[in-house]
Each structure stands twice: as C-alpha cells, then as structure tokens.
C-alpha cells in the first residue's frame, strides 16, 4: 500500500515539473516532455499492432 502512495507522489511531482509549477532545469523539463511523447507514441504503436493482430485473428477463422 505504501508503494502506491510513493507512485502517486512521484506522478504528482512529475506533473508539477511538466506544468511549470516547480522550478526545474529547462533541459530536464524538455527531456521529460520528450520522454512522455515517446511513451505515448509507443503506446499508440502497440495499440495499432494489437488491433492488427486481432484483425488477422478474426479474419483467419471461417
């Protein structure tokens, strides 16, 4: 249960840094934005691949 509290705390800190409420090095802030965009792109790519696999699976059954 304590790990969940730490995870939520880390997410809150990251959101504050990305939103500009916490003073942080601009390189760190841009790097975090870049990492977030890469994670989103990877997520969309994985979702597209899973949909493609589902289409092949449903199309192969008569």
Q: How far apart are the first and last CA of the chain?
A: 48
pTM: 0.73
Are the beta carbons of 20 and 35 closer than 8 angstroms? Answer: no
Report which of 56, 48, 15 is spatially closest to residue 33, judged by C-alpha positions. Answer: 15
What does the pLDDT read at residue 62? 62
CA atoms of 45 and 29, how far apart (whole Å)? 24
Q: What is the residue extent of each domain of the chain?
A: 24-62
pLDDT digit string (tens) for 16-42? 999 989 899 999 999 999 999 999 999
């Amino acid at each position: 249960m304590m790990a969940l509290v730490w995870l939520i705390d880390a997410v809150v800190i990251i959101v504050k840094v990305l939103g500009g409420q916490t003073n942080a090095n601009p390189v760190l802030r841009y790097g975090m934005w870049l990492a977030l965009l890469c994670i989103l792109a990877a997520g969309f790519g994985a979702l597209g691949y899973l949909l493609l696999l589902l289409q092949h699976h449903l199309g192969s059954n008569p």
